[in-house]
Structure formats: C-alpha cells, structure tokens
Amino acid sequence: MEKSFPRRLSALDTVFEFVHECMRHYRIAEKNDFSMKFIIEELFTNMVKYSKPSRSDIFLKIERHDEQCSIIMSEDDVEMFDITKIPDADVTKPIEERTPGGLGIYLIRKMVDRLDYDYLNRRSQITIIKKLE
C-alpha cells in the first residue's frame, strides 16, 4: 500500500492512521505496532525538518513479504542527506553531556534489519527491511 503526505508535522496523525491501515491489511501483528510507527515517524520528521525548501509531498510505501516488511519513503527536489552516514549517538554520556540529537536514527538502527539510502536527480529514497515479530 502507498500514500503521499503533506510535508508538515501536523500530518503525523494521518501517517499513523495509514500505518495502522497497512498493518490491518497485511495482518501484521500488533506487537510490531510501536516499532513500525517509530521508524516511520522518525524518517518523516527528519524529512520535514531537514528538507525545508522542498514543497513536495512525502511518499510512503509499506509492503509485506512473508515474515518481513519493507518500508520505502521518498521525497523530491531535496539535497542529499544520507541518513546511513549519521554517526550513532553516544548513549553512555552523563546527563550534562547528553543532547537529544541522533537518538532517532540510533533507535531505527536497533529496530531494522536493513537500511538503505539512494539519491538520484534530487530524489531521496530510504528503504528499510524489517523482520516481523
């Protein structure tokens, strides 16, 4: 299933509704609900925050293939921003040295089995493969 969403945080409600709809459609167990929503929200908010000049919608496609699912998110007319190159947050630092930056991508890496980034003709695409619980 696939759908496009306007590039704004207030669209998150409709993004979550779509994820829920996909999970029902593909009979994905409820225990995957938190991680599916987390991964998609983090990618969506990154696109909203870091690709501001673009006015293009954000495209989301979710499919199930046996015991895993693929999540594809893409956007047009953006600069290259390869999230696979972002270093992991240091989660061992004491509170005075902690900043919230990098936690989203750090947690995505914990939750997924594969994370790929492609950039061509000002189009960014992130592909995720996640084994289902």
Binding segment toward another protein, per CB under 8 A, in 9-17, 21-29, 72-80, 120-128? 9-17
- Residue from 1, 2, 6, 9 binding another protein (CB under 8 A): 9
Structure token pair of residue 72: 């594809």
Region 47-86 residues binding another protein, contact defined as CB under 8 A: none
Q: What DSSP line would sit under 28-82, residue for residue?
A: --GGGHHHHHHHHHHHHHHHHHH-TT--PPEEEEEEEETTEEEEEEEESS-----
Binding segment toward another protein, per CB under 8 A, in 19-27, 75-83, 96-104, 125-133? 96-104
The least distance separating another protein from the CB of residue 9, rounded to whole angstroms, comes to 4
Sorted by sequence, the CB contacts under 8 Å of residue 41 that are 6+ apart come out as: 12, 15, 16
Site of interaction with another protein (CB under 8 A): 9-10, 12-13, 16, 34-35, 37-38, 41-42, 45, 89, 91-93, 95-96, 98-100, 103-104, 106-107, 110
